[in-house]
Amino acid sequence: MSYIKYLAFILILPFIFSCASIPAKWSLRDKALGTIAITGSIADTAITERMLDTGRYKETNLFLEDHPSDGALGLLTAIEIIGVMLLAHYAPEKYRPYILGTWAAIGWGCTYHNYRLWKKE
Q: What is the pLDDT of residues 43-86, one digit of tens each?
A: 888 888 888 888 888 887 777 778 887 788 888 888 888 889 88
Give me the pLDDT at residue 1, please. Answer: 44
What angle do the packed helices 70-90 and 28-54 form, to 10 degrees? 160
Domain tally, the chain: 1
Residue 72 belongs to what domain range? 3-12+27-119
Identify the band that residue 120 occupies on the pLDDT scale cut at 50, 70 and 90: confident
Residue 82 lies in a domain: yes
Residue 91 lies in a domain: yes
Residue 71 lies in a domain: yes
Residue 104 lies in a domain: yes
Work out the number of other CB atoms within 10 angstroms of the CB of residue 92: 6
Identify the band that residue 102 occupies on the pLDDT scale cut at 50, 70 and 90: very high
How far apart are the C-alpha atoms of 47 and 86, rounded to whole Å? 25
pTM comes to 0.76
